[in-house]
Amino acid sequence: MDLPTAQDLLPRADPGGRAVLRAVLAGIGGYLPETVVSNDDLARTVETSDAWIRERTGIGQRHIAQKHESCAFMATRAAAAALADAGAEAAEVDAIILATATPDEAFPATALRVQAALGAGGFGFDLSAACSGFIYALSMADAVIRTGQARGVLVIGSEVYSRILNWQDRNTCVLFGDGAGAVFLRAAPGTGLGSDRGILSTHLHADGRLGDILYVDGAVGQPERSGHLVMHGKEVFRHAVHRLSEAVDEALAANGLERDAVDWLVPHQANMRIVESIRKRLGLPLERVVRSIERHANTSAASIPLALAEVHGQGKLRPGQLLLLEALGGGLTWGSALVRL
Ligand code: UT7
């Protein structure tokens, strides 16, 4: 197939105009493990209840990966679904950026396992930013497209948190689930204005001083440690509400947009109470908030693309609509992306 170069795609700039390359969301896909574990199922093994989990988090169930449903397996399924949704072949993929905190191997990068499985070329790498991973990956993909390094980029979030949870710890084990979500981005010429289709902006933040309020205690470099997720929930909650409120204001201000310009809020699905506080700040009706937490729980870097795949599958997304994505996770890391469909 004869593909245009990045230069071919650039429109001829009018005098005073600002020709830009935009990363346009061309396809969305997701994969959820077949096994579903309800709150009642968990209440049989730890001291908890469906009522407590629903009331404090909004979670009703989670999908849990079986042995064959590895990080790479789920990522490949989600990526293939995103390509099919875009009507794209693997030959169109120039780069794969995969966000995960639970890769199958220290290396090669899970992104390259996916590349091989799809029969794609180009380059790829994994990215570690915990629950903000998809926003970080989207931002990197936007950068490689804007600089002409790639024209077709797969951005994937894939997580098997079930393998890093302490299943005796009710403070954490009820919160997370497994799954993968992906989007396929295509380079397209834009005018530099907010009416362009594609990623309009991304904003990334991190504060490493807060690393001890949400972490996994171990990895390949420390095999003597358990490798379990530890969270000081109340503190993370407090930071999430503050930082994400700042992040949504920052995204809108940077684009000169008012709150009512947002068609869909697509939040990281960690806790419905956090989502509610951001929704109220934006003054959005609940129907304009993409919510999958009840069915998926918190799937970390996969949560935003999985939520997108769900609402897309319901046929609710329309060309021209403005999506505001936001997430906060271990690191701490947080950020936002504004995307016009
Ligand atoms: O995705 C990355 C970002 N993560 C987040 O954004 C998560 C942020 N944090 C949260 O979502 C919430 O803090 C949690 C859902 C984790 C916890 O909710 P909380 O309202 O902050 O509860 P808490 O931790 O203060 O616990 C309240 C009570 C405690 O009992 P006492 O000490 O008051 O007697 C806990 O022991 O609830 C108890 N508790 C539970 N009870 C039943 C904690 N977990 C459970 C449970 N079932 N699963």
| pLDDT higher than 90, residue 4 | no
The overall average pLDDT reported for the chain is: 95
Q: Is 148 in the pocket of ligand 1 (CB under 6 A)?
A: no
Looking at the fold, whether 55 and 34 belong to one and the same domain comes out as yes
pLDDT, one tens digit per residue, over 263-290 is 999 999 999 999 999 999 999 999 999 9
Whether residues 171 and 240 fall in one domain: no
The answer to whether residue 224 scores a pLDDT higher than 60 is yes
The neighbouring-strand residues paired with 159 are 179
Answer with the one of 138, 158, 190 that is the final residue of a domain. 190
Atom of ligand 1 minimally distant from the CA of 57: 15
Q: Which residues, other chains included, contact 33 with Cβ-Cβ below 8 Å and sequence gap of 6+?
A: 63, 64, 65, 66, 69, 74, 178, 179
Q: Which residue has the higher pLDDT, 4 or 34?
A: 34
Q: Is residue 4 part of a domain?
A: no
Residues 174 and 253 in one domain: no
User: What was the pLDDT predicted at 329?
Assistant: 98
> How many whole angstroms from 133 Cα to the centroid of ligand 1?
23
> What pLDDT band is residue 1 in, cutting at 50, 70 and 90?
low
Tokens read off for 219: 């990895």
Q: Name residue, tokens 């490689």.
A: 144
User: Which residue's CA is minimally distant from atom 39 of ligand 1?
Assistant: 171
Same-domain check for residues 219 and 138: no
What is the tens place of the pLDDT at every residue in 107-152?
999 999 999 999 999 999 999 999 999 999 999 999 999 999 999 9
Instruction: Please tell me whether residues 121 and 248 are part of one structural domain.
Output: no
Q: Which two tokens stand for residue 50?
A: 């469906």
Catalytic center residues? 131, 268, 298
Instruction: Tell me the residue range of the domain where 119 lies.
Output: 12-190
Mean pLDDT on 58-75 = 98
Same domain for 293 and 314, yes or no, is yes
How far apart CA 101 and CA 103 sit, in angstroms, is 6
pTM greater than 0.85 (yes/no): yes
80 lines ligand 1 (CB under 6 A): no
Give a yes or no: residue 1 inside a domain. no
Q: Is residue 95 located within the same domain as residue 174?
A: yes
**How confident is the model at residue 96, as a pLDDT?**
98
Averaged pLDDT, 302-329: 98
Look at residues 163, 190, 217 and tell me which one is the last residue of a structural domain. Answer: 190
Between the CA of 53 and the centroid of ligand 1 the distance, in Å, is 9
CATH number at residue 232: 3.40.47.10
Q: Is residue 270 lining ligand 1, measured as CB closer than 6 Å?
A: yes
User: In this structure, how many other beta carbons lie within 10 angstroms of the beta carbon of residue 106?
Assistant: 9
Same domain, 169 and 229: no
Q: Are residues 181 and 219 in the same domain?
A: no
Number of domains in the chain: 2
Contact 303, 270 (CB under 8 A): yes
Amino acid at site 38? S
pLDDT at res. 17: 45
User: Do both 184 and 254 map to the same domain?
Assistant: no
Mutate to test the pocket of ligand 1, among 45, 230, 237, 238 (most ligand atoms within 8 A of CB): 237
- Could you tell me the distance, in angstroms and rounded to a whole number, from the CA of residue 58 to the centre of ligand 1? 12
Residue 12 pLDDT level (bands cut at 50, 70, 90) = low
Confidence label for 221 from pLDDT (cuts 50, 70 and 90): confident
Six-digit token string for 283: 């003054």
155 shares a domain with 262 = no
Q: Is 131 in the pocket of ligand 1 (CB under 6 A)?
A: yes
Average pLDDT over residues 217-225: 82
Mutate to test the pocket of ligand 1, among 234, 278, 296 (most ligand atoms within 8 A of CB): 234
246, HSE (Cβ side, Cα atoms, 13 Å):
11
Q: What is the pLDDT of residue 7?
A: 55
* Of residues 152, 312, 122, 326, the one with CA closest to residue 240: 326
Q: Which residues contact 205 (CB under 8 A, 6 or more apart)?
A: 243, 247, 333, 334, 335
Q: Which of 190, 225, 254 is the last residue of a domain?
A: 190
Tell me, yes or no, whether 148 and 225 share the same domain: no
| Range of weakest confidence among 11-20, 167-176, 238-247 | 11-20
Instruction: Let me know if residue 7 belongs to a domain.
Output: no
What number is the average pLDDT over the span 304-314? 98
Residue nearest atom 12 in ligand 1 by C-alpha distance = 233
* Whether residue 172 has pLDDT greater than 60: yes
